[in-house]
Amino acid sequence: MAHVLIVGSPIAGLSNLITAVREAGHIATPVDVTSWAIALTTRRADVVLVNAQAALSEHVLGRLKRFGAPFIVVGAQPDAAEVVRVVKAGAHDYLTTPIDVAHLMRTLDAVRVAGEEGRGRTTAEHSKSMSRVSSYDCFVAVDPVTRRLGARLDAVAAVDSPVLITGETGTGKESAARRIHRASSRARALFLPINCGTLTESLIDSELFGHRRGAFTGAVEDSKGVIEAAAGGVLFLDEIGEIPPTLQVRLLRFLDNREVRRIGESSIRHVDVRVIAATNRDLREDMRSGRFRSDLFYRLSVLSINVPPLRDRPDDIPELARLSLRQVAARLRRPEAGLSAAALAALGNHQWPGNIRELQNVMEQAFVGVSGPMIDAQDLPSLDSRVREEAERPQRDAVVNGVRDALVHYDGNQTLAARALGISRTTLWRRRKRVAGSGYPPSLGPTRPQDL
């Protein structure tokens, strides 16, 4: 059990965190941004969770670092500058909303264990706890294709070389990178994801490599880049195909000698960090067109992994759908909802061009739109109607066949047939119309409820 101090106002989105932490068996103490420092001086906190909005607007980060308490920042999808600022301030991680509760609990455990080690716990105890933390894996691998991928990721984790992960948008490339991190010797250090596609060309050099005070307009203090910020851990460069050619040269030099030079400095800094890159682009085609350097490609792709699209691993769909529903339910603080056989069939028949992100979107829409405990095929408005009809066909055929068989057995007597099927005569009449449309002889039995 850990004592978790949660800094920020419930309006800023921390209420769900408080509930999740307490339901996991930990002690959660919420405080606002004006009293957290007093709280830290009067009681022991194993971990501090701080809302990003509160941290960045109230200048809490620097003071947290001085207190020495391990802390995690929680907020919306950040830009690179915000991530750098948080990591430089000493944050163990930056968790984005909506919060994956299971991932939050693993992170809390990892931070608490690291803190206990710093307080002098024995190496044997630490290793035992860390094996428990890092062995938990949220990477969904039900389909044989994904199970083979998981085995490949675990094998790659043992080799401390650059990795290039390819695959369509939304297939889970970052989840694959996180699995490599969790299974590697760097699991206790930071996993720092950076989306290269969101960085402006004028600032990307500074964001990656850092700068010296006065190096350019606006550089009011020395700043290390994300490569230095991720030292000892893993730097995940998403959308690596979007970085400009001039920066590709510097990134290649770093991969070759693990050295960086901040803008405006002449000194060289050695940085120990593992680089995992990902892209949805065809980098070989980009090499042929001159858009991407071939030497950088070969340096990044020492180990290459392709994450297959969701349509090629259909057995993962039910579990991914259920996982999405659990996450939405936890975020909205509502009871979880299940998926009917027809809904699962509809999901399985869809091609998912948007992959896991599309599935998550569909699940959230469906969950918000239903009030009961079960989501059926008709509750999936984002799916093509033809796909839904195909998914519902087996259930519809079963209904038609059941009515037909009962009417034949009781020689067209709908009262006896309804009783045998456990339905009302009115319901049987409605289903009788379906039977008539499917080729059932219309002369057998009445077709109106008043004739029953």
Confidence at residue 450, expressed as pLDDT on a 0 to 100 scale = 41
- 3-state SS assignment for residue 217: coil
Assess whether the previous peptide bond of 381 is cis (omega < 30° from 0): no
Residues in contact with 11: Cβ distance below 8 Å, sequence separation at least 6, in sequence order: none
Distance CA 309, CA 313 (A): 7
Identify whether the C-beta of residue 235 lies closer than 8 Å to the C-beta of residue 207: no
Residues in contact with 148: Cβ distance below 8 Å, sequence separation at least 6, in sequence order: none
Distance CA 67, CA 379 (A): 50
Q: What is the token pair recorded at 403?
A: 């009515």
Q: What is the token pair recorded at 217?
A: 């307009």
Closest by Cα among 90, 85, 51, 35 to 68 = 90
Confidence at residue 215, expressed as pLDDT on a 0 to 100 scale = 80
Burial class, 322, CB count within 10 angstroms (exposed 0-12 / middle 13-18 / buried 19+): middle
The tens digit of pLDDT for each residue in 338-388 reads 999 999 999 999 999 999 989 989 999 999 988 888 999 989 876 755 444
Closest by Cα among 120, 115, 150, 143 to 130 = 115
The tens digit of pLDDT for each residue in 233-248 reads 999 999 999 888 888 9
Confidence at residue 135, expressed as pLDDT on a 0 to 100 scale = 26
Cβ atoms within 10 A of the Cβ of 142, count?
Answer: 15
Identify whether the C-beta of residue 212 lies closer than 8 Å to the C-beta of residue 185: no
The tens digit of pLDDT for each residue in 237-292 reads 999 998 888 889 889 999 999 998 888 888 889 999 999 999 999 999 999 999 99
Residues in contact with 290: Cβ distance below 8 Å, sequence separation at least 6, in sequence order: none
Confidence at residue 202, expressed as pLDDT on a 0 to 100 scale = 64
Q: Which residues of the chain have pLDDT under 70?
A: 1, 9-15, 32-44, 54-59, 62-63, 65-68, 77-81, 88, 111-138, 200-202, 382, 384-398, 401, 432-452
Closest by Cα among 172, 168, 264, 254 to 214 = 264
Question: Amino acid identity of 219?
Answer: A
Walk me through the domains of the chain, giving residue ranges and CATH numbers: 1-136 (3.40.50.2300), 137-308 (3.40.50.300), 310-383 (1.10.8.60), 394-452 (no CATH)
Closest by Cα among 204, 252, 258 to 228 = 258
Would the pTM of this model clear 0.75, i.e. be above it?
no
Distance between first and last Cα of the chain: 66
What does each C-alpha distance from 17 to 54, 202, 266, 384, 448 come to in angstroms?
Answer: 15, 37, 45, 36, 56
Confidence at residue 328, expressed as pLDDT on a 0 to 100 scale = 86
Identify whether the C-beta of residue 449 lies closer than 8 Å to the C-beta of residue 428: no
Confidence at residue 24, expressed as pLDDT on a 0 to 100 scale = 77
Question: Amino acid identity of 357?
Answer: R
Q: Sheet of 47-51: strands edge to edge?
A: 27-31, 3-7, 47-51, 71-75, 93-96
Residue whose pair of structure tokens reads 């830009």 in the numeric block: 79
Identify whether the C-beta of residue 210 lies closer than 8 Å to the C-beta of residue 263: yes
What does each C-alpha distance from 255 to 94, 223, 239 come to in angstroms?
Answer: 25, 21, 17
Distance CA 168, CA 66 (A): 43
